[in-house]
Amino acid sequence: MELREMGKAAAAVKYDLACMSEERKNRALCAAAEGLERDLDRILSANEKDVADGEAKGMHPGLVDRLRLTPERVRAMAEGLRQVSALPDPVGEVLESFIRPNGLKIEKRRVPIGVAGIIYESRPNVTADAFALCFKAGNACILKGGSDALASNQAIAESIRTSLEDCGIDPDAVQLVTDTDRAVTEQLMRMNEYVDVLIPRGGAGLIRAVVEHSTVPVIETGTGNCHIYVDKYADLAKAVPILINAKTQRIGVCNACESLVIHEAVRERFLPALAQALQEKNVELRGDERARETVPDMNAAAEADFETEYLDYILSIKTVDTLDEAIRHINRCSTGHSDAIITEDTERAERFLNEVDSACVYVNASTRFTDGFEFGFGAEIGISTQKLHARGPMGLKELTSYKYVIRGNGQIRP
Amino acid sequence: MELREMGKAAAAVKYDLACMSEERKNRALCAAAEGLERDLDRILSANEKDVADGEAKGMHPGLVDRLRLTPERVRAMAEGLRQVSALPDPVGEVLESFIRPNGLKIEKRRVPIGVAGIIYESRPNVTADAFALCFKAGNACILKGGSDALASNQAIAESIRTSLEDCGIDPDAVQLVTDTDRAVTEQLMRMNEYVDVLIPRGGAGLIRAVVEHSTVPVIETGTGNCHIYVDKYADLAKAVPILINAKTQRIGVCNACESLVIHEAVRERFLPALAQALQEKNVELRGDERARETVPDMNAAAEADFETEYLDYILSIKTVDTLDEAIRHINRCSTGHSDAIITEDTERAERFLNEVDSACVYVNASTRFTDGFEFGFGAEIGISTQKLHARGPMGLKELTSYKYVIRGNGQIRP
């Protein structure tokens, strides 16, 4: 279908979705889960084609792994749909209500956003995940996955659409853009008439392109140059495991730690122990001059290192003389995702929490907790690094807007 | 100053503003109010220059009136600053807090957005208003007013900056772009590094241009093609005064009614009385065929009329046979600002409130109440017609974001 027609169809179905009962949405999500399991073979054989094409093109083995589906991965997708069905429906919640002196009753009520466009890269499971979250929050969605995963995404989307139809729901609640022409993606980014929000999910390049070309409002997600600052009053016995966890527990994720900021007063005591622990994990250290005085076999950090999200077994190290300097350095270099202080001094912790301008600010914990599941949202569509609408992990609520419902008995404005 | 330098300065001062006490902000707002009164003559003579230039260029008298300042208008600006100082500070409010099973204490806390860019047209009072709201919500602002009001805006901005300095506050909390080159405005729209949000305030052309050219997140404000639907079960004695009020109480505003949707069953009873009342107010009616059967001297409405925000003494009239048709028509033609139903039937009212997808939906009241002051917000930076971040009237809270503050005692992610 031509993209404008898809937009029109999505905008038409959104009114039904906005008023759909929670029970009906949940039944449809469970039916879609069963459908994915029923269509397992078809999905796997479509995926085999994508994987074969990728390998033939010399795709990086890491990307091939992200692309590949297995029976377990398809079952996990289905399980994901069931989990979303079990989450509370955010739509209809009354956020505020008040009565004005003139008798007008004003209610601020949570409603769906309408039509969400999701632009994503290789992993085909996003097709099912993004649908589930958008649908449960009452939104229609238009999905544009990576061209590498086209056959897989088509098989998954078709399976879900069939299940919706079986439930008597207009399948245009989820539509997949199959035209891989870049011009079509750019058209999606400018289709303000039909699309209410765009959420890019992927690498920094994808996100930059969407921000650059969109006239539709975008929620920027993802890039995380996350810092851990080990303060003068840090409990170093806490600091080592937190750094190991934040750096190495999972490497290629946005909430991994990319940079250590170390207070001069604990440099000599802390760095050797940390260096040894990180070397055991094969992490390359890139330090400033003072860090290298303490650990001489460390590589030198260039200024650019402090602005780099490595997503790799590399950690930059910056030495500071004061808490103020640490805060300034982090505010300058951070992408505003997640930053932590390790300290036993409450006052200094509070200053850090107040003054570091990031979506998630931590004291004495790993930055790896910035995650919709870890926050207890039960789901996650992405992690916002902008300040409008949503910041930090986004779950179902962040896929909603609100409206004001005003009840009068003939009031006019004097 | 060069625009990038202004951006850098705003981004530097935002950290101080974010942590500034409510008391200190209020003192500065009151000082700025006194300053405007003290600088009255200077502001008026700058304004005389703008007005003279405007008249010499043959500016429309309505625009000259918007541009013109009087001692009363300057005092009203000062009073506006004092009113904002009296509003509660939204910054620091704890929106939610919860403890995770692993002991992490998570707090969702209201914080300023950071740096707001405000792009506006002729009325110089916006310079003071926009500053006050941004400042009270802890944001730095970069203001770009219309070139017609440049001297007036400069005088107002300089006065405020001097007052801030007198209070020991960095005057770069408010900066005015004085370069009237369109390329500079476009640069402001793409300065994502320093500007967190853009809010255009003005006509549809300005807003469209900002949405079209910005890479910085925009909050769209303003355009209102607002409908009043007079239902089969309307109390017609309520309907006439509501329509008169919504259409004529103030003409050029976004919450004025532009279109009447009338149920066939009450057409013959309602339209003659309404037509007479509106003709007394010199309102031109443009009706569909059936409306013109009832009131033959009415002009004919073209399809384009139903999509037009007149901002004038004109009302379009559409006849429908069912509530469903009314809702579909409004969802198709409305700009999603404010729409009302007049009915005594609760069930039909609820269907309208649920199914009409606009920021403010009314039953039995004038659409003119869509306003920050009428809602009790005590202030208004604009009325959002988009669904992200803020919808409907925006006051101080809508000029804030939030952050997550997470307190642990050594937690790492398993």
pLDDT tens-digit series, residues A58-105: 999 888 988 999 999 999 999 999 999 999 999 999 999 999 999 999
User: Is the pLDDT reported for residue B142 higher than 80?
Assistant: yes
CB of B12 less than 8 A from some CB of A:
no
pLDDT tens-digit series, residues A137-178: 999 999 999 999 999 999 999 999 999 999 999 999 999 999
Say what the pLDDT of residue B316 is.
98
pLDDT tens-digit series, residues A298-352: 999 999 999 999 999 999 999 999 999 999 999 999 999 999 999 999 999 999 9
Say what the pLDDT of residue B222 is.
78
Beta-carbon separation of B410 and A369 below 8 A: no
The pLDDT-based confidence of B57 (bands split at 50, 70, 90) is very high
Mean pLDDT across the stretch A382-389?
93
User: Is the pLDDT reported for residue A122 higher than 80?
Assistant: no
Comparing CB atoms, the residue among A349, A368, A392 nearest residue B404 is A392
- With a pLDDT cut of 70, the percent of chain B lying above it is 100
| Chain B stretch 309-338, residues whose beta carbon is closer than 8 A to a beta carbon of chain A | 331
Going by C-alpha positions, the residue among A80, A185, A111 that lies closest to residue A143 is A185
Beta-carbon separation of B410 and A235 below 8 A: yes
Mean pLDDT across the stretch A223-230?
95
Looking at chain B, which residue has its C-alpha nearest residue A18?
B355
pLDDT tens-digit series, residues B161-195: 999 999 999 999 999 999 988 899 999 999 999 99
The pLDDT-based confidence of A221 (bands split at 50, 70, 90) is confident
Residue A297 CB contacts under 8 Å (≥ 6 apart), including other chains: none
Looking at chain A, which residue has its C-alpha nearest residue B209?
A215
What ranges in B87-124 are assigned the alpha helix state H? none
- State the CB neighbour count (10 A cutoff) for residue A289: 9
The minimum CA-CA distance between B406 and chain A, rounded to whole Å, is 5
The minimum CA-CA distance between B287 and chain A, rounded to whole Å, is 24
What does the alpha-carbon distance between residue B399 and residue A384 come to, in Å, rounded to a whole number? 18
Q: Considering the entire predicted model, what is its pTM?
A: 0.93
Mean pLDDT across the stretch A229-250?
97
User: How distant is the alpha carbon of residue B215 from its chain centre?
Assistant: 21
Beta-carbon separation of B412 and A98 below 8 A: no
Torsion of CA A338, B387, A193, B314, to 10 degrees: -150
What does the alpha-carbon distance between residue B356 and residue B334 come to, in Å, rounded to a whole number? 9
Structure tokens that stand for B324 in this block? 């469903």
Residue B100 CB contacts under 8 Å (≥ 6 apart), including other chains: A374, A375, A376, B106
Comparing CB atoms, the residue among A98, A388, A404 nearest residue B389 is A388
pLDDT tens-digit series, residues B126-141: 999 999 999 999 999 9
Which of A220, A339, A387, A402 to mutate: most B Cβ within 10 Å? A387
- Chain B CB contacts of A192 under 8 Å are 211
Beta-carbon separation of B242 and A406 below 8 A: no
Beta-carbon separation of A406 and B357 below 8 A: no
Say what the pLDDT of residue A222 is.
78
Going by C-alpha positions, the residue among A195, A211, A70, A72 that lies closest to residue A142 is A195
User: Is the pLDDT reported for residue B204 higher than 90?
Assistant: no
Beta-carbon separation of B364 and A15 below 8 A: no
CA distances B22 to A245, B100, B113, Å, are 39, 32, 16
pLDDT tens-digit series, residues B288-311: 999 999 999 999 999 999 999 999
**What are the backbone dihedrals phi and psi of residue B57, each rounded to the nearest 5 degrees, phi first?**
-80, 0
Mean pLDDT across the stretch A2-17?
96
AA identity, residue A163:
S
- With a pLDDT cut of 90, the percent of chain B lying above it is 92
ipTM, 2 dp: 0.94
Structure tokens that stand for A162 in this block? 């069939």
Beta-carbon separation of B413 and A364 below 8 A: no
User: Is the pLDDT reported for residue B1 higher than 80?
Assistant: no
CB of A362 less than 8 A from some CB of B:
yes
**What are the backbone dihedrals phi and psi of residue B257, each rounded to the nearest 5 degrees, phi first?**
-80, 135
Structure tokens that stand for A229 in this block? 């600052």
Mean pLDDT across the stretch B228-240?
97
Say what the pLDDT of residue B278 is.
96
Which of A228, A369, A394 to mutate: most B Cβ within 10 Å? A369
Comparing CB atoms, the residue among A331, A362, A405 nearest residue B15 is A331
| Chain B stretch 373-392, residues whose beta carbon is closer than 8 A to a beta carbon of chain A | 374-376, 386-389, 391-392
Helix, strand, coil shares, percent, chain B, to 5: 45, 20, 30
Going by C-alpha positions, the residue among B30, B37, B28 that lies closest to residue B165 is B28
Q: Range with the lowest mean pLDDT among A37-46, A168-177, A244-253?
A: A244-253
- Inter-chain Cβ pairs, chain A and chain B, closer than 8 A: 200
What does the alpha-carbon distance between residue B191 and residue A407 come to, in Å, rounded to a whole number? 42
Say what the pLDDT of residue A378 is.
86
Beta-carbon separation of A365 and B242 below 8 A: no
Beta-carbon separation of A408 and B365 below 8 A: yes
- Chain B CB contacts of A361 under 8 Å are 403-406
Mean pLDDT across the stretch B360-383?
94
| Chain A stretch 85-104, residues whose beta carbon is closer than 8 A to a beta carbon of chain B | 98, 100, 104
Q: Average pLDDT of chain A? A: 96
- Chain A CB contacts of B360 under 8 Å are 403-404, 406
Say what the pLDDT of residue A360 is.
98
| Chain A stretch 202-231, residues whose beta carbon is closer than 8 A to a beta carbon of chain B | 211-212, 215, 217-219
- E strands of B248-368, at which residues? 257-263, 284-287, 299-300, 314-320, 338-342, 360-365
User: Is the pLDDT reported for residue B13 higher than 80?
Assistant: yes
The pLDDT-based confidence of A410 (bands split at 50, 70, 90) is very high
| Chain B stretch 234-273, residues whose beta carbon is closer than 8 A to a beta carbon of chain A | 235, 238, 241-242, 244-246, 249
The minimum CA-CA distance between B83 and chain A, rounded to whole Å, is 19
User: Is the pLDDT reported for residue A267 higher than 80?
Assistant: yes
Comparing CB atoms, the residue among A197, A357, A389 nearest residue B15 is A357
Q: If DSSP codes are grouped into helix, strand and coil, which group holds residue B135?
A: helix
The minimum CA-CA distance between B46 and chain A, rounded to whole Å, is 34
Say what the pLDDT of residue A190 is.
95
Say what the pLDDT of residue A118 is.
96
